[in-house]
Structure 1
């Protein structure tokens, strides 16, 4: 349990610092206009990507909550299953966060 808390804290701290640094770099770029595309194919693709990442993030958070509930309310088997779900949800959130960062970097690099 202690090891899981340490890993979770480290991942959250890393994610917070990564996002704050990226926002400082992207401060000169106008924010994405989700749902307000100019009709340009590039803007439509960026909007779709933002929607997909947002939905994936929401699903990962729901799995994290579900795993936490299983961990708390389950017996020995439920706790083990909940622990695996929590770890996988955290890994999923990290992957989604990195995908978002990479997508933003690519958009900035190509001048979108």
Structure 2
């Protein structure tokens, strides 16, 4: 086995604890427990164009959010494992900057969509 620094070991342990806690919460408090069994469940996709565009927008924003989260985790891992190496710290800062730009795009995308709708009369 290769030697692991104390900082990396702490980061791995924290990640494992966070993952175990999130898994325990997901298992203990399932969303199904809060469902209303008396209400009928209707699983129908919208057939009108605004509904389809809204669904596509929701999916794209979800994917952008996942990518932002991955960049934040990547930057955090780079920062935690840098060990004082300036080039590694700069890579981590770059990953954080990319994540913030992606987050800003994800947050401002609906605003830009409304502006475009205003121009085209939608």
TM-score, length of structure 2 as denominator length = 0.52
Deviation at 1:106, TM superposition (A): 5.9
Question: How many residues were matched structurally?
Answer: 76
What does the per-residue CA deviation read over 1:64-112, in whole Å, with 9 as the maximum and x for residues that have no partner?
11111101212322111001110111111111110133335666983xx
Counterpart secondary structure, 1:37: coil
Of 100-109 and 82-91, more deviation after overlay is shown by: 100-109
- Which has a greater percent of helix? 1
Rg: which structure is higher?
Answer: 2
Kindly report which structure 2 residues correspond to 1:87-106, keeping only aligned pairs within 5 A, or say none: 87-103=97-113
> What stretches of structure 1 of length at least 5 have no aligned partner?
1-34
Task: Tell me the residue number matched to 2:49.
Answer: 41
SS of 1:91's equivalent in the other structure is: helix
Q: What are structure 2's unaligned runs of at least 5 residues?
A: 1-42
TM-score normalized by the length of structure 1: 0.56
CA displacement, residues 34-77 of structure 1 (integer Å, 9 cap, x when unaligned):
x7533112211210111011111111111011111101212322
RMSD: 2.4
Segments of 4+ in structure 1 off by > 4 A? Answer: 104-109
Q: Against the structure 1 CA distance between its residues 37 and 106, is the aligned structure 2 distance closer, same or farther, given a 3 Å change threshold?
A: farther
